[in-house]
Amino acid sequence: MNIIVVGCGRVGAQLANRLFQQGHHVTVVDQAATAFDNLDQAFRGRTLEGDVLAQDLLRRAGIEKAHALAVVTSSDTVNCVVGHVARTVYGVPNVVARNYEPRYRSLYEAFNLHAVGPSIWGAQRIEEMLTDDPLRTVFSAGNGEVEIYEVLVSNRWRGRKLREMLTSTDCLPVALTRAGRAVLPTPDTMLEECDVLHVSATRESIETLRQRLAKEA
């Protein structure tokens, strides 16, 4: 895919690096040449310096043939304008914008843009990890018959096998994250305190798991 990333700060550079590693043709645009220092040394995509609001620069970046565009500068106004122009003027089929300041969320809604707010998302994730409920829904399939839940493993389960926690065949492990690294767990995986476990389950089986975790609290 031909993808344009507008803004090469920490978010933009990380995104561009990941897209390039996946084999996409990536062009990064920023108003400051020094911003490209954020890119990995192995990055071999295009970089263009200039006013990101200038249509000439966007054309040079290949916006007329772009399959997707991410605008991730630290200015919500710039993000909305560039995203809106990309969609309505150039017909870019997939446009995603970064919502930098949470109070400007309504601005993205007015432009009908897909927006990602790292600060909002980060705050929600931290809040979830600080609260007492060990089970949190992160994905719902169908009409909610099957959902994916996140379990923060407590000290009570340290050194015990996953099979001791998940006894129901309707409650299946999806992934286990430890120290920021995710793996596919097996029933014999030994649990550690602060592991983050994702499981898929029916409503009935998750209630059984919730009760088991409450007894072990």
Q: Are residues 18 and 98 in the same domain?
A: yes
Domain boundary among 100, 118, 136: 118
Radius of gyration, CA atoms only, the chain = 22
Q: Are residues 11 and 83 in the same domain?
A: yes
Among residues 50, 107, 60, the alpha carbon closest in space to that of 79 is found at 107
The DSSP symbol for 189 reads: P
Q: How far is CA 185 from CA 99, 148, 195, in A?
A: 35, 15, 11
All residues at 6 or more sequence positions from 18 whose CB lies less than 8 Å from its CB, including other chains: none
Q: Are residues 133 and 66 in the same domain?
A: no
Q: Are residues 108 and 185 in the same domain?
A: no
8 A C-beta contact, residue 196 and residue 153 = yes
Residue 72 is which amino acid? V
All residues at 6 or more sequence positions from 128 whose CB lies less than 8 Å from its CB, including other chains: 136, 150
Domain boundary among 68, 102, 118: 118
- What is the DSSP annotation of 49-61? ES-TT-HHHHHHT
Task: Look up the CATH number of the domain holding residue 150.
Answer: 3.30.70.1450
Tell me the three state secondary structure of residue 72.
coil
Q: Are residues 111 and 179 in the same domain?
A: no
pLDDT of residue 186: 94
8 A C-beta contact, residue 176 and residue 164 = no
CA dihedral in degrees (44, 50, 56, 60; nearest 10)?
A: -10
pLDDT mean for each 10 residues of the chain (217 residues): 96 95 96 95 94 92 96 95 95 93 88 84 70 77 81 92 89 94 95 94 88 81
Q: Are residues 51 and 147 in the same domain?
A: no
- In this structure, the strands spanning 2-6 and 25-30 are parallel
Q: Are residues 104 and 132 in the same domain?
A: no
Return contacts of 167-171, CB within 8 angstroms, 24+ apart: 167/208, 167/212, 168/201, 168/205, 168/208, 168/209, 170/201, 170/202, 170/204, 170/205, 171/199, 171/200, 171/201, 171/202, 171/205, 171/206, 171/208, 171/209
Q: Are residues 143 and 88 in the same domain?
A: no
Task: Look up the CATH number of the domain holding residue 104.
Answer: 3.40.50.720
Print the domain residue range for 80: 2-118
Domain boundary among 74, 93, 118: 118
**Distance separating alpha carbons of residues 97 and 90, to the nearest angstrom:** 16
Q: Which two tokens stand for residue 104?
A: 């400007």
Q: Are residues 138 and 79 in the same domain?
A: no
Q: Are residues 131 and 189 in the same domain?
A: yes
Q: Are residues 9 and 107 in the same domain?
A: yes
Domain tally for the chain?
2
Q: Are residues 143 and 181 in the same domain?
A: yes
Query: What phi and psi, each to the nearest 5 degrees, are found at residue 135?
Result: -120, 130
Q: Is the pTM of this model over 0.85?
A: no
pLDDT of residue 206: 87
- Within 131-199, where are the H helices? 162-165
